[in-house]
Amino acid sequence: MDAVRAIEQDLRTLMRQRAEARLEVEELDREHREQVRKLLLGVLETIDAFDRVFRSVASKPDTITPQMRIWLNNFRTVRRLLERVVTEQGLVPIVANPEDSFDPHWHRVSRIVADPTRPEGAIVEITAPGWVWHGAVLRKTEVVVVSNNHQVPDESQTDEGGT
């Protein structure tokens, strides 16, 4: 009978250790996922910085020298490589169009403009793309929206989801 009790005790100990190990693995997985999330957001900020440079240069085409054109093409290559990294990590861009209406689940207001010719909440411009990662919004699409009554959306509409 003592042997049975010893086996039962050993079994309980093994089951407890297995449960503790599973919890530890889950915690390590959560920590790793959070580190990857932060890294991906940093890469997205870098991509956005490249896009801002390209928009700025595009607005001044007469100032671009042949050497600058070469550098810009190299920067575009780097930007494409960075975007490949994020898509290989499972990020999917949020499709947004200027004709859409503001949706706080998918969009973050970067600026509000008045335009009586357009409906309230209409998206005028997309200033930064949004991204979904593992089925959840990693970063909302930043948009310029119409507000003819100049009301600023509440924090739930302008706050980054999950960031």
Q: Predicted confidence band at 105 (pLDDT cuts at 50, 70, 90)?
A: very high
Does 67 lie in the same domain as 34? Answer: yes
pLDDT of residue 1: 75
Assess whether pLDDT exceeds 70 at residue 9: yes
pTM of the model: 0.75
Summary mean pLDDT of the chain: 89
Sign for the CA dihedral angle at 21, 26, 27, 31 comes to: positive
Last residue of a domain, one of 31, 63, 89: 89
pLDDT of residue 153: 53
77 touches 85 (CB < 8 A): no
pLDDT of residue 98: 76
Whole-number Å distance between alpha carbons of 13 and 11: 5
119 touches 101 (CB < 8 A): yes
Does 100 lie in the same domain as 52? Answer: no
Does 111 lie in the same domain as 64? Answer: no
